[in-house]
Every structure is written in C-alpha cells, then in structure tokens.
C-alpha cells in the first residue's frame, strides 16, 4: 500500500521539484521510501511513496519493463499474484522484482487495458506506455483505493490524495456546487469538493494521450433483472457457496511479508472476518478494538467475547471525547472530505495505535453492509417495496419496530423529520430509496443554515437529478429489484465517497496502515449479486446469508444481534466535554465566517438552543454540525479560496 503521483504535460517540461513535493506530501502513505522518475523528453513524471508489505527488498517503484519503454506505479495489493508471476515467466517475461505490483505491468504488455480483468484486489495504478505515448490510470472495482486527477496549465496531474495535487501546484479552491451536493446526497461519483479536482470512478480507467482523454468502465455490479427466475435452491446451498468465497477472500488477504492484524468491533462483519482468519493463521491473531465510555456506543464486551472464541490476542483502544477533539483536525485533513460523525476520527486513532503496536496490515469488515443490505434503510426498502404476499398491517408493525430499535441511527440511516421534494427520483426509478429520503431529511435541516444566495441557487433543484445523471440507469438500474437498485446507488456514492474514505483507506493510511477488505473481493460480490434479495434481507434480519454462512465461527451474541452502525458518541450529547467545546468554538469562530456558503448567525442560533432539545434531536443535529466543522478544518488547513 503506497502513495502514487503522475504528471503528464502536453506543453512544458514537468517540474522535478513539483513532482518531489507531491510525492513527499504522501509520506504517510509510504514512509519506507520515495522515488521519482521523469521521461527523457520531460513530459511525463511518476512518483511513488512506498509502504513495504510484499517483497521488502526489491519492490521499489516505479517498475520498468524489460525494454524500459513501459513504467508503472501501484497503490494496493493484487491477490493470487504468485501464480500469475509463474505464468508470465513461462511466457518469456523477465521480472525485475518479486512484488505483486509488477504483474500489472506485464499483463498490460500482453493485454493492454484488458489486463484489469485479471487483477484481483484493491488498487490504484498509473502506467506510462512510451511506445503508444499514452498514460493509463485505473482504480479498483469498488473505489477502495483513491485516485484523483486535475488539469492545470495543460498538464494532467494524478495522485492518491488531493493534497498531493495542491502540492504540485493545482489551485486550492472550493467547488460550490459540489459542496451543496455533498450536503444533499453525499457527492457525485466523479466530482470532489474542490474546483477542477475529479476522481476516477470505481471500476473505471483513464487513457490520456497528447490529443485525447477518455474514461471507460471495465466492471460493474450487473444485478440480474427482477423478472429473471433463478433455479430453486436451498438456503443451505446459498450459504455454503457464500462461505466458500468469503473464506477464500479472507485467506488470500492473510498473505504478507509483515504481521497481519484484524480490526474487531461487536458487529457481524468484523467478527466473521476474525473467525475465518483464525482458521487459516498459524498463531493467535491480534484483534484491535475501539472502546467508548458511552455504553450505547461501546462494543468492547461483545468484541472481547468474540476474540476469546477465535483464540485471538485482544487489544483495546479506549477513546474519549478529549481524544476526538485533539485529533479531529488531523483526521479531517487526511480524509479531505466532510464527516457526519466523529467515527472517522476514532478510526484515525485506532490506526495510530495499530501502527504503534508494530503492525502495517489489518483485515477489516468494511463493504459487507453495502453488498448484503446491512443498514436499517435497506430493511426499510424491503418492507416498503417487496410487499408481494405480505400483510400490510404486519409491514406497518415492522416499520414501527425498525424505527424504535434504531434510535442511534435517527437522521443518519433512517429519515427523521421532513423530507424534501424527491419527485425527480421517483420519476426516474419508480420509487425513492430510503437512504435518499434520509439524506433529504438531513438536507432539509441544513437549509436554514445556508447563505441566502447559495440556498437560492441550488436548493430549488435538489440536484438529485445530477446524482442520477451520473448513473447508468438503463443498463444497471432499470428492471432490477428495488433493494438491488438501492444497494447500487449507495455503493456508487456513499460507499466509495464516504465509507471507504472516512472509515477506510484514508484513516488507515494516515498512519501507514494497509487495510484489506475481503467483503469487497469482486468474486464474492459477483456471487452475492446473483443470489435472491431474500438472502440479504429477510424480515428484520439483515445479512441473512452471512449469518448462516459463518454461524460456526462467531458467538451466539453476534449471530443474534441486529446491525448497529459504527459510530462514536455525538459531541452534542456531552455539552460539558472537550469535544463539544471544540465544535462550539470552531463554528462560532473565524473559519466558519470565512466560508461564504453558510449563515453563521443561523448556526450560532442553533448552537444556542441545542441544550433545549431531546436526546434524539441532539443526535440528529450532530450529523448537521459535523460537516460544518469539517469544512472549517479544510478551509483552515488548505487555505481554500471560494
């Protein structure tokens, strides 16, 4: 796992100093060495910050082909690479390293861009093809690894993080439409908060030449049409095939030349990963668990029970409100985005503790909720839109139960209060996914805090049309089951832009930790896409097939427990504590005043009346305040222009 930088100039020579600055800005992603290469004509530059995981001695990058006309830089891991190495050597390739990264270089020599179909893992890569004078950049199928780009003064800049683009000389400015989109629905597939800065979407690649740039899709979820009748099979059969693929995905992610640990919560996902990993690891695995003082958010006891069952070495990292306050700014700087809860800050601190314990690699449970319908809003979708053969009164009771038993998710995963105008979504999809209703209800609460001109410019459109315009509605959504449509839209936006950023790569790599995500192994995902939706959500039981597939390696407590989202205790619930003071001071201060998109007087009025609200309302409003504080941090740390 590393940091990568690439420059491709159509006019002036690339600057070695700028390339070095950009590479060095990613030191946290690759503290084991930074290297740069510039082409003979000085039109192309590649930079690499290395975190040594595989092939500790000869895996430095950029890696050149035998004739040195092709060079590659990679961030990530390719699994099953040893077999591909042997096949490449049998076909006459001479490998310079034993690194997994090099296989992509030689596969490209043979297959061109179709090499991506042969790669299994989480990755971002950039390759310079001197023979064809083209730059090839690609991102893994789900967006586990980030890859941003910007054009500035006739030069294409590509990097693992936005801060590297800024270090290279790309102007640091807000993109006001993207700011609104982030508030409304979590952001677009390609755009970012920053003017002129885009991201290569998950499952896509870029080809850049002196005359043209194009971005193409090479993979997608391809959910089956709802009208297709699959052969009748038993639940046990579905669970057995899911178990086989998941166990293999976990097993191959234990391969490393350094120790591998596991992030463990009280949730089904990480417990399943630990339970399966313990079966394939010769020694007790070290399991790292966050704990909180607020019992409603603390999963320590459940995680401890699971660690004992797996024979793991259990290690807790206690997090208090003071820790969240002290690390909030640094965590947001690494994320480069807006948070809705300080859970990302907690993950930032978790990764630091793991690094301090001498680990570089952890296996995590991210992605399970996105492929298996784990969140409460997916269960709501099943109740609302898969009604065939169901009693309306029973559905009403279950919806009531869902709301009453997910109080910590109020406004975050389930709608809370008024919902905006979503007719355009209904016209396109035929229904409105519950997660979009949830985001809309949050946006309604935020509207009074927006500056008049900003609100008047964007709020009337709602901009959900812009969200759907980014999607292949006809090819990937039309005719699919509503739950699968909802999963697809969530995965393309919130999973890629938020979950895998704020709770994944950016918080891990902030402390040079490589996170491996077996639930987002594409073979496993393709399998669950083909299974009936009833294997994902059944009644009030989410992730049904996973529960049944791993029942023998998890505790009964975990097996019977419903999904609880990983959240840190909201600042608003502890008015006298350090974190709430930090939030109050930030939003009342000069950084907030410098951002032209909000009315600070309205924000201060909200802060003044927070103490009068009940616990549920305070929880819901914490999700409104966190993005605002995040913007203040980004404004200060990047000195962003409007």
Enumerate the active-site residues. Answer: 2
According to DSSP, residue 408 is labeled G
Distance from C-alpha of 163 to C-alpha of 638, rounded to nearest angstrom: 8
- Sequence-separated (6 or more) residues with CB below 8 Å from residue 430: none
Q: Is the peptide bond before 437 cis (omega within 30 degrees of 0)?
A: no
Distance from C-alpha of 503 to C-alpha of 369, rounded to nearest angstrom: 13
Which residue stretches of 459-543 are H helix?
464-469, 482-490, 500, 506-509, 522-530
Distance from C-alpha of 300 to C-alpha of 304, rounded to nearest angstrom: 6
- In this structure, the chain runs to a length of 642
Distance from C-alpha of 298 to C-alpha of 566, rounded to nearest angstrom: 9
Distance from C-alpha of 46 to C-alpha of 126, rounded to nearest angstrom: 8
Q: Which of 113, 145, 115, 129 is nearest to 215 (CA)?
A: 113
- Find where tokens 């699919």 sit: 480
The count of other CB atoms within 10 Å of the CB of residue 598 is 22
In whole angstroms, how large is the CA radius of gyration of the chain? 24
- Find where tokens 């559905």 sit: 395
Residue 13, both tokens:
């020579």
Distance from C-alpha of 412 to C-alpha of 312, rounded to nearest angstrom: 33
Q: At what angle do helices 321-335 and 578-587 cross, to 10 degrees?
A: 50
**Could you please report the per-residue DSSP string of 481-495?**
-HHHHHHHHHIIIII
**SS3 (DSSP) at 157:** strand
Residue 359, both tokens:
């680990």
Question: Would you call 535 exposed, middle or buried from its count of C-beta atoms within 10 A (0-12, 13-18, 19+)?
Answer: buried
Evaluate the CA torsion angle 92, 98, 103, 109 in order and state its sign: negative
Q: Which of 422, 378, 428 is nearest to 540 (CA)?
A: 378
Q: What is the dihedral of CA 455, 458, 459, 463, to 10 degrees?
A: -160
According to DSSP, residue 531 is labeled S
Distance from C-alpha of 230 to C-alpha of 193, rounded to nearest angstrom: 42
Residue 573, both tokens:
């619930």
Hey, which residues does 598 pair with through a beta bridge? 450
**SS3 (DSSP) at 559:** helix
Distance from C-alpha of 209 to C-alpha of 116, rounded to nearest angstrom: 19
N-terminal to C-terminal alpha carbon distance within the chain:
34
């Amino acid at each position: 796992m590393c940091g990568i930088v690439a420059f491709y100039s159509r006019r002036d020579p690339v600057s070695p100093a700028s390339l070095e600055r950009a590479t060095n800005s990613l030191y946290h992603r690759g503290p084991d060495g930074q290297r740069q290469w510039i082409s003979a004509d000085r039109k192309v530059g590649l930079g690499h910050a290395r975190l040594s995981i595989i092939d500790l001695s000869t895996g430095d990058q950029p890696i050149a082909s035998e004739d040195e006309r092709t060079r590659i830089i990679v961030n990530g891991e390719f699994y099953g690479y040893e077999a591909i190495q042997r096949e490449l050597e049998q076909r006459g390739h001479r490998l310079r390293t034993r690194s997994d990264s090099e296989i992509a270089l030689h596969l490209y020599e043979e297959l061109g861009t179709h090499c991506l179909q042969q790669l299994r893992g989480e990755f971002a890569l950039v390759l310079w093809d001197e023979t064809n004078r083209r730059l090839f950049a690609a991102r893994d199928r789900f967006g586990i690894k980030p890859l941003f780009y910007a054009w500035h003064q006739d030069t294409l800049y590509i990097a693992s993080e936005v801060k590297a683009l800024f270090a290279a000389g790309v102007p640091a400015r807000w993109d006001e439409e993207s700011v609104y989109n982030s508030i409304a629905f979590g952001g677009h597939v390609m755009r970012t908060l920053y003017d002129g800065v885009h991201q290569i979407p998950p499952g896509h690649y870029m080809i850049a030449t002196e005359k043209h740039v194009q971005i193409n899709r090479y993979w997608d979820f391809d959910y089956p049409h709802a009208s297709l009748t699959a052969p009748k099979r038993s639940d046990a059969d579905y669970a057995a095939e899911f178990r086989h693929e998941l166990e293999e995905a976990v097993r191959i992610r234990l391969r490393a030349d350094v120790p591998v640990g596991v992030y463990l919560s009280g949730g089904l996902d990480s417990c399943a990963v630990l339970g399966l990993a313990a079966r394939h690891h010769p020694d007790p695995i070290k399991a790292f668990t966050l704990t909180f003082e607020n019992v409603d958010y603390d999963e320590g006891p459940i995680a401890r029970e699971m660690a004992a069952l797996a024979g793991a070495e259990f290690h807790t990292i206690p997090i208090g409100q003071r820790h969240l306050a002290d690390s909030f700014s640094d965590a947001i700087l690494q994320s480069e985005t807006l948070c809705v809860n300080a859970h990302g800050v907690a993950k930032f601190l978790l990764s630091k503790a793991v690094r301090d314990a001498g680990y570089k690699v952890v296996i995590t449970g991210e992605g399970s909720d996105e492929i298996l319908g784990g969140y409460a809003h997916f269960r709501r979708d099943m109740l609302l839109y898969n009604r065939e053969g169901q009693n309306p009164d029973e559905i009403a009771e279950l919806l009531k139960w869902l709301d009453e038993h997910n109080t910590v998710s109020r406004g975050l995963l389930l709608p809370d209060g008024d919902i905006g105008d979503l007719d355009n979504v209904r016209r396109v999809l035929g229904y409105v996914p519950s997660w979009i209703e949830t985001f809309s209800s949050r946006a309604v609460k935020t509207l009074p805090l927006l500056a008049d001109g900003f609100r008047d410019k964007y709020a009337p459109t709602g901009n959900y049309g812009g969200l759907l315009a980014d999607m292949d509605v006809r090819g990937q959504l039309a005719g699919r089951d509503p739950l699968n449509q909802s999963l697809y839209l969530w995965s393309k936006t919130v999973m890629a832009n938020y979950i895998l950023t704020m709770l994944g790569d950016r918080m891990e790599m902030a402390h040079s930790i490589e996170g491996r995500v077996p639930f987002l192994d594409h073979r496993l995902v393709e399998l669950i896409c083909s299974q009936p939706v009833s294997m994902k959500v059944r009644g009030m039981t989410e992730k049904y097939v996973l529960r049944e597939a791993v029942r023998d390696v998890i505790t009964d407590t975990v097996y019977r427990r419903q999904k609880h989202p990983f959240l840190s205790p909201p600042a608003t619930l502890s008015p006298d504590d350090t974190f709430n003071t930090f939030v109050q001071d930030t939003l009342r201060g000069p950084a907030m005043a410098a951002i032209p998109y909000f009315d600070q007087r309205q924000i201060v009025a909200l802060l003044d009346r927070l103490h009068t609200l009940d616990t549920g309302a305070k929880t819901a409003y914490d999700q409104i305040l966190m993005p605002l504080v995040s913007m203040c941090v980004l404004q200060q740390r990047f000195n962003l222009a409007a």
